[in-house]
């Protein structure tokens, strides 16, 4: 028995000095079923080997949990409490990972670029309806356009180029201006909307479920819907209170003006929430219920209001000294406004995606799905030491020289611990499908006291 245990599988014979001889020795022919029987005998003589293997695995898991990498990976689960704080952290982390700051700048730039051609096309259309809207309204629109152009451009440019062009367009309709302006606004506006659509789908992890062409068509449709709703809603919000006041005869009923003042901003907020929720709902390839986009729309509206107030204070401080920006003050202010608007919309999308992820995790835990934390599963009961190997394993062991060809994979045999490969025992010996030659001579006496006799 001792002579059988005195060889190594990948080396030569062991000399008297404890060193391997230079002449290689063939592996021992004791393979297959005999190795299984030997393992069984060793485990029967030393039942503490299973406990020792469990202890080694527990120590290894403890070392992993004490490592710095595990603490970094598990920091979200261990250090961040559950509730709103974890939701806020997840939203901000996802926003940073998805480059929301850069994408908001891109969307804001394209929004600003789409504004002049859109206004130019609307201005060209006013020449055809000048008789219907009246001369006073037309002159008021002309003065507003020239006043805004004076804030953006120099006085000489306004007098030499802008004023004659506006007068010519308003005096008679210009179909070329309408068509060119509308095409330019359609291209730039749909590009800005495509940035919103792509970022929303990325936040939900659905970017690959829609092709680039289809995403652009969806963005084009959403931009047209936005322009149409803006043409209808904005005049109603501006002219609606005065029209209602005249209809209800507010001069004789002073409470009507007070009621209209109280209801104006809630109605504006409700319209904005509806448009934002529709944007989040229609941008996804796999649609969620409409009401599940309300939290993100609410956050976007709040962020937009707060950001607009902060921007107003900033502009009041900066524009008090005209030398800071000079003639670039108005374009910079418009670009910052569109940037804040885009950033608020994208943050709302990230919040909706974080809420959707949390709800899916809770649903998995409720349905008995895989756990989301890093808690290891409880150890299974150890297999019986006298368990008989399957006939298929015997046949594989005998035909394959001790190596499994069609049986269960390593770590799934009758002598594995907790369904895993047994860790090395004393002397670095692994008892998972090992051959007799894998057991060195020295630790054999300690593992099997009767082997020396």
Q: Could you tell me which of 250, 229, 253, 251 has the C-alpha nearest to residue 241?
A: 250
Residue 127 has pLDDT above 70, yes or no: no
Give ∠ CA 283-203-88 in degrees, rounded to 5: 125
Task: Copy the structure tokens of residue 366.
Answer: 């409720």
Confidence band (pLDDT; 50, 70, 90) for 418?
very low
DSSP H helical ranges for 248-287: 254-283
Residue 102 has pLDDT above 70, yes or no: yes
Judged by average pLDDT, the poorest of 77-86, 191-200, 229-238, 387-396 is 387-396
Confidence band (pLDDT; 50, 70, 90) for 8?
very low
Give the mean pLDDT of 388-395. 45
Place of tokens 């080997």: 49
How does pLDDT run across 14-60, given as a tens digit for each residue?
A: 444 444 444 555 555 556 677 778 878 887 888 788 788 888 888 88
- Look at residue 173 in the predicted model and tell me its pLDDT: 64
Confidence band (pLDDT; 50, 70, 90) for 347?
very high
- Look at residue 350 in the predicted model and tell me its pLDDT: 92
Instruction: Tell which wins on pLDDT, 176 or 77.
Output: 176
Give the mean pLDDT of 106-134. 78
- Look at residue 322 in the predicted model and tell me its pLDDT: 60
How does pLDDT run across 288-326, given as a tens digit for each residue?
A: 888 888 999 999 999 999 998 898 888 888 776 665 666
Instruction: Tell which wins on pLDDT, 130 or 286.
Output: 286
What integer best gives the mean pLDDT of the chain?
Answer: 71
Query: Residue 132 in contact with residue 125, Cβ under 8 Å?
Result: no
| Phi, psi for residue 20 in degrees, rounded to 5 | -75, 140
Task: Copy the structure tokens of residue 359.
Answer: 């709800």
Distances (CA, A) of 143 to 72, 147, 400, 435: 61, 6, 95, 96
Give the mean pLDDT of 326-330. 69
- Look at residue 393 in the predicted model and tell me its pLDDT: 44
- Look at residue 280 in the predicted model and tell me its pLDDT: 92
- Look at residue 369 in the predicted model and tell me its pLDDT: 52
Judged by average pLDDT, the poorest of 83-92, 227-236, 264-273, 409-418 is 409-418
Q: pTM (2 decimals)?
A: 0.58
Residue 140 has pLDDT above 50, yes or no: yes
């Amino acid at each position: 028995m001792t002579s059988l245990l005195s060889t190594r599988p990948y080396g030569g014979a062991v000399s008297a000095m404890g060193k391997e001889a230079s002449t290689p020795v063939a592996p021992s022919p004791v393979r297959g079923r005999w190795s299984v029987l030997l393992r069984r005998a060793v485990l029967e003589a030393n039942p503490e080997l299973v406990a020792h293997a469990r202890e080694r695995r527990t120590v290894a898991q403890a070392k992993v949990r004490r490592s710095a990498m595990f603490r970094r990976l598990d920091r979200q689960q261990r250090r961040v409490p559950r509730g709103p704080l974890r939701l806020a952290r997840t939203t901000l982390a996802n926003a940073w990972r998805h480059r929301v700051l850069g994408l908001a700048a891109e969307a804001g730039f394209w929004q600003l670029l789409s504004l002049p051609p859109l206004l130019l096309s609307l201005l060209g259309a006013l020449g055809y309806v000048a008789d219907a809207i009246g001369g006073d309204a037309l002159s008021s629109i002309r003065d507003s356009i020239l006043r805004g152009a004076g804030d953006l451009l120099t006085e000489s440019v306004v007098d030499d180029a802008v004023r004659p062009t506006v007068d010519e367009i308003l005096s008679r309709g210009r179909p070329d201006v309408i068509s060119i302006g509308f095409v330019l606004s359609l291209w730039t506006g749909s590009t800005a909307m495509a940035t919103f659509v792509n970022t929303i789908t990325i936040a939900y992890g659905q970017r690959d479920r829609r092709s680039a062409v289809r995403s652009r068509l969806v963005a084009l449709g959403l931009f047209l819907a936005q322009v149409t709703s803006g043409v209808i809603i904005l005049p109603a919000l501006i002219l609606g209170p005065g029209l209602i006041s005249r209809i209800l005869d507010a001069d004789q009923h002073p409470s009507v003006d007070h009621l209209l003042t109280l209801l104006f901003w809630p109605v504006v907020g409700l319209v904005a929430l509806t448009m934002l929720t529709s944007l989040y709902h229609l941008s996804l390839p796999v649609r969620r219920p409409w009401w599940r986009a309300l939290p993100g729309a609410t956050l976007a509206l709040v962020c937009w209001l707060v950001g607009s107030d902060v921007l107003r204070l900033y502009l009041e401080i900066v524009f008090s000294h005209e030398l800071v920006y000079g003639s670039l003050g108005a374009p910079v202010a418009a670009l910052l406004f569109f940037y804040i608007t885009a950033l608020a919309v994208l943050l709302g999308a990230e919040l909706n995606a974080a809420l959707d992820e949390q709800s899916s995790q809770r649903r998995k835990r409720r349905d008995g799905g895989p756990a989301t934390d890093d808690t290891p599963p409880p150890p299974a009961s150890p297999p019986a030491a006298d368990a008989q190997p399957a006939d298929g394993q015997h046949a594989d062991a005998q035909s394959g020289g001790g190596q499994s060809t069609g049986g269960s994979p390593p770590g799934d045999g009758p002598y594995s611990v907790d369904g895993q490969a047994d860790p090395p025992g004393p002397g670095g010996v692994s008892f998972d499908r090992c051959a007799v030659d894998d057991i060195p001579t020295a630790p054999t006496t300690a593992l099997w006291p009767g082997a020396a006799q």
